[in-house]
Amino acid sequence: MTKHFESRRTGFTLLELMLVLAIIGVLMAVAAYNIVGSGTRAKIRVTKISMQTIEGALKTYYTEESAYPPSVTTLATVKPPILESSKLRDGWNQNFYYRVTGTQERPYELVSLGADGKSGTEDDIDVWKINQP
């Protein structure tokens, strides 16, 4: 009886290692995309909530004064303050664009200029459109 010894290699081939690294890279890319996207979605959500809060404060001011304030900062400076000044910035820490229009349909404009900070771009958020589908 002769004993037969097999020679076994241990370890991974270069191809197996490259495949594992490629899979890890794809998974990290998907995770990074989701993390970055969730930050933007959170800023949009915060902005919309802030705008709804300001909208309520504008209605309160209008009820008390029979006119809309000349600026949103007025909401924080009247005595007693209707709104905290920290609520007057959007999710990107920018001031909202506010203007009294004087029309019945939309008596004021309240807009966040979005991430790019430029007016008239597709990332702008208008208070009159946030509840529309």
Residue 85, pLDDT score: 84
Confidence of residue 7 (pLDDT cuts 50, 70, 90): low
Phi, psi of 78 (to 5 degrees): -70, 160
CB 125 within 8 A of CB 51: yes
C-alpha span between 4 and 26 (Å, rounded): 44
Residue 98, pLDDT score: 95
Phi, psi of 50 (to 5 degrees): -60, -40
Confidence of residue 93 (pLDDT cuts 50, 70, 90): very high
- Whether the per-residue pLDDT at 29 is higher than 90: the answer is no
Residue 15, pLDDT score: 84
C-alpha span between 100 and 109 (Å, rounded): 6
Ordered by where they begin, the domains of the chain are: 46-126 (3.30.700.10)
CB 126 within 8 A of CB 111: yes
Q: What is the pLDDT of residues 45-62, one digit of tens each?
A: 999 999 999 999 999 999
Mean pLDDT along residues 35-40: 75
